[in-house]
Structure 1
Amino acid sequence: MRKSRKLVAVLATLVMLMAMMIPMAAPAFAGTTNVTSSVPNIVQPYYGQLTTIKINGLSISGTDQIQVVLPSGVNFLTGTFSDGTNNYNSVPFSVYNGAVTESVTQTLTTPMTGNVIWTPQYVPDSQQVPNGVSLISVDTLQPQLLAFTVKSNGNGNAGYIRINMPVSVTSAASGPIQAIVQDNIVAVTAGKVTIGNAVTGGTVTSVTTTATVAQNSSDSVSFLINENSAKALGQGGGEIHIDLPSHFTWATPSITLAGGFPANAVTSSVTTNSSGNSRMVLQVVNPSVGTPGSILVNTKISADYNAPTGDITATFGGTDPGFTATTATVGTCGNYNVSTTQGNLPTIYTGQTGENVGTFTIAESVKNTLITGRSLSITLPGGVRWTDSNLPIPVVQTGSAQLINASLSNDGQTVTYEIQNSGGSATTIQFQQGEVNVDSTVAPGNLTAKISGSGVDQTVDIAKIAAPVTGVATGSVPDVMIGKPAQSASDFTITEAAAGAIMANYGNGKNQAYLDIIAPSGVTFASIPTIKVTSGDLNLSPSGATLTDYNGVLNSRISIPVSNGSNKASTITVSNVKLNIDNTVGVGPVSLVLGGSALVDPSTQMVKDSNGNLISTNTRLVNGSYVASVQVANCTTPISKTTGGSAVFTIGSTSYTVNGQTYTADVAPYTKDGRTFVPVRYAAMALGVTPDNILYQNGVVTIVKGSTIVQMTLGSKTMKVNGASVSMDVPASTTNGRTMLPLRWLGMALGATFNWDASSQTVTVSIQ
């Protein structure tokens, strides 16, 4: 080896001396640019190609010899050599004849064994034609010296030369490997060119699968540690440490060994480092034999609730002297969620069932937002429920995750899907063909669904909610007076929002539907108004309209049967409206509400009565629910009246008078056991009690007037006045479903006096 190095040095010296004696071939100056392609990092011993040296802009008029000198420990591959395992052969240059069209005829690959030829080649730059120089001869190819002569082609162009560098690197100093490029006539810019980097360390670490996690979730990750040579690891009993940043944790790893590692050569554990962060510890207890070993680590990374978003970078280090410390991105953490996209928003109507919502789409921001084994829920706001027979169908547009096994909550508001097959790629899912039932209590506006579960928290609009009809007063709204009957209210129209909004039947077409017009508390209809369809093809039966009670108040509701629904949105005009306004009505707007089974399908679960109270549709009050209202009058100052007053009831007659005004009860007074019984509501109202102070509960009637509270129990002769018991000679009773109270005892409790006229069978109650 010493002789070889001495010979190389002698040859290099001779070349330089010869160059000084050769006449200059008229170079004006040294003007080349000597560059390399990407510079590889290599671990010794290394046999193969380093970078390529490219000499740009060589301008000569005759000939020139160019030399490439390698540093100590780096040799050109020439002749036959061995790396201790394989034998290699090399021959000198193939000759490039300077033809413009010639291309590289020999390509280097690594490694090549047996009789494969490794040939340093110099070729012209393929992008520069015609080349200004061509090869005359290869003068020297020794382990550390390459010398070759080129000549001008006489075309006036500069020369371009590229030199491949197949070498052996066995004892080079760590750091840049630099070759010297020079020539005889100083046409080449002499100097050092970096052709590689000799790096220390015996391993290469690569991440094979990265984790994708959200806060409070985990995902799989794998990485590979390859030795550069046998026995690189496990010398001296050190450890390999792989540390995660804060808020991330390793799971117990699974280790797979390959190459020269024997079975059970590596142990593993998970602990924490001095900063309290998760650390994986690997220790090679049996070094590899013969060939370099590989360690494949499969594990999981978990992120806690406070994990930061972005790349997850692990630090690879430790105390094993053969391990090459490095850092690597092992995963990504994000605020995983889905984006939502709404489709066209159909209009659906309050009080209706089986209303079709629009399609809507969710898309994972990153894979594993939807995690297998978890669930995804879509929740509707109060008053809106999914139709259990037509839940939204999730259709996968892209990606691998699927939603299966839809289930509906007891209240019908939430549909939940199980997630499966997640993690392959980010998934987009479109929901189709969902139906909902909408209570009459729901306010018009966009129907917004909430999407949650598996780290998702989003909303999306899926429909527009509107009232099926609107009511509008025509002309000016008149004033009415408190305590006066049969007062004129405004005419008004009822207009469908769309064809068929007013239903002719419900319950799968088996039940007759009615359109109801309902008066507020303290207001009754004096008569049935004129009802007429003035546009569209809705078919009503106005002659079948009835004046009925609502919530126990006679003549407070008009029910109109619907013969056939419309094919064209229709308008109903209601005119000649006459209202009775009692003395309990407050000053302000008087509004009628529009409802009934023609507008509110009883299949909806909750509806609102005319006073705004929520009621269940499993009661007889379903036809009192409503979806719209219309102001038809404005109640102003009450009519003047004298202090006190009187009411007259006639035995056997449903007509009675209060202060001279005639009213009608639904049950006539009668006498029993010498006492006059009257319906509780009408008797109390005649005595000045407001309807909302007449209460019924579990057979007990409670009547409140001022500071006096009177209670009577059906079937009992005991009356309580402000909690004190008073014995009566007759009990309260019922007739035809109505509660009947002994008038005298009630009047006495409320401070009234009585006058019985046997001839006319009337009783007059005077209120002071």
Structure 2
Amino acid sequence: MLKTRKKWISILLTLAMLVGLMVPLAAPASAATTYEAITNVKSFNPSSDTAADQEGATVQAKFDPYVPEPSDVLIEVHDSNNKVLEFTSTPTVTVIQDDTVSNGVYAATVTPIGSKTANGYYQTYKISVPTQAGPKPVSVQIKAKFYGKDAANGDVSLVFFKGSNQFSSGSVVIARAKSGNVTASAIDIPTFSDQGGSVTIRFEESLAEAIEQDSSSIKIKLPNGFTWDKATVSASSLTSDGPVFGTITFEDSDRTAVIPVTTKSSSSAIVQVTGTVKVDTTLAKTGNVDVTFSGKTSVSPSTLTVANYGEYKASVECNDVKDITAGKLDQELGKILIKEDMPGTLVANRTITFTLPEKAKWTENPYYSSGDSDAPNFTLKDNTMQSVGSDGRQVKAIVNTQSKGSEATTIVFKGGKITVAPDFVGPLEIEVGGTAGVSGTVKVAEVKPSVEVKPSGTPEVIIGRQGQVVADLDITETLKENMAATVTEGAYHYDGYVALITPSGVTFAEKPSFSVKEGDVVIGDVVLEANDSIAAVRIKATSTTPSTINVSNIKLNVDRSVAEGALQLKIGGNALIENQGYFPGNDYVVKATVAKVITPAPVETKATAVFKIGDYKYTISGVEKTLDAAPFIQDNRTYLPVRYVAEALGVQNIAWNDETKTATLIRNGIVVQVKEGSDIMTVNGASIKMDVPALNVAPGRLMLPFRWIAQYAFGANVQWDEATQTVTLSL
């Protein structure tokens, strides 16, 4: 019995194995199905009314290879958030046989699955394709409509799932949900004045029905101080199938225009609203006129600049600031632009003036360039500006006809040439004025010196000494040819010289040495002029590259009238200064500090000086010296020559001013001044009344009673010897 059971078990296992091997042989070939949209995938507005019955693209399920078995699959419509949407009607399914629509042999059946939604629609359908004799089906085409209102933005897909035999799972995009938006723009941004002006606003839908159907579809509100001219406001569609508008109304005391829409657009539309804006000058602020949007329709941006409100004025600018050279003639300026803030600012018979600073003059007046201007029909009474006054600093233009149109205009002046004083350096600004409403200043040039000077140092020189060596100088052109070889004045031509000019009280002890350090300028002879106060070198040929002249062996005589501090030489000459006729007295381009003037330290000495009445001889510490005016007695007062008394007392600085007839005596910080014919003596600025005035005797010598200078001014001991008729001064 046990053997029999084992035998049966063995037979069953063998049969089971055979069945397992045989089952796959009976299975159909593996299915291969691809899904694709064969019509356009369109975008739709999920908030529009038409989205309630939205048609999707036609989807094709292609069979390759065909499996000769009954096949079915479930389908649904999903939005981008995988929310299942509702079919608004039974999908249409067509079986294609060898590229020919089936005539019923393979007619597919479409069956709803589940129950209806609250809207009365199904969310799932089953597609079944039978197997019958005849040509093989090659594909299935599905058309579906769905409820797309409030679908999430993004792709809407037809989803295939739970397929059998021929059908596999998959999905195809059949539509795209895209919320419609409305964009506002200003076609133009006009500028208007107190009289107001017209504005145009354009609204563009991205999709149909983006502009909502409502009695307050779009509200356009003006800022405070501006109102709509109600009779002029209108709305229209620039495209076919656009929205239909009702009667426009107004709110907020006519600041807000309310645009009603009675019918939505059936395709994306462009809408335009135009109207005239009125201005309340007591409330309106100059600048941008910005409207704000509200209402049922969402408009982007929410605020838009539609105009500019301004005053009747104009601004000035120069967009071509040039570098020019001081001391040279006919330096050309760049273009000067006058820009209206408001159209109509520059009206007929009003003036525009350009005024240069004090150290600049016009050599050629600017002219109006219509080709560079943006000013239709604008003209001046004279295209070239006319000179005003006799100082050469101001020119003016008179408007003949103002510009036409609603746009602010720009007028351009060019061709102006000026000359600048030789010592003027830095920015040059023109003051713009007149009665045309233009005002302000504008930089038109940067003025540079014709040469730059670099001293080798600042040595000290002592008051009252001769032939003292000061710093060497390097004189360098800022541009080639700035040192002119020939200077023309009218019909005359002169050799060009570069000159060093000393200050008052300083002269050249001898001719300095001039040499070309860099560049190719050619120089000639050196001369001393004006009582040795000017040392000049001739320029024989101009440079082709900026050149440097070195001046060395500069020896100066410094008299006792020179004040302590910086000793500066002026660098000038007609080779550098072409415009002396325009600026008389401006004889230099730059100044250079070549030394520091100091007073020698006082030497403490004990000295005795003896003067005798009527004698031209006197002694200092026993050394006999000679006077040019002898002491004398007048009205019982003993007069001595002031200069010789001062020298005997060791006064370091003695100066005579011939114009004021004043002697200045300086010793150890004490400054004494005495004036011919005056009985007032000043000591360090304090006035002291003397009992007699100072006298002037031949040969032009100032005389005073000896005690006033010696004792009262400088504190010397004085003695009078009646017997010998002598005066003794001792320190």
TM-score norm. by structure 2 comes to: 0.49
Please tell me whether Structure 1 or Structure 2 has the larger radius of gyration of its CA atoms. 2
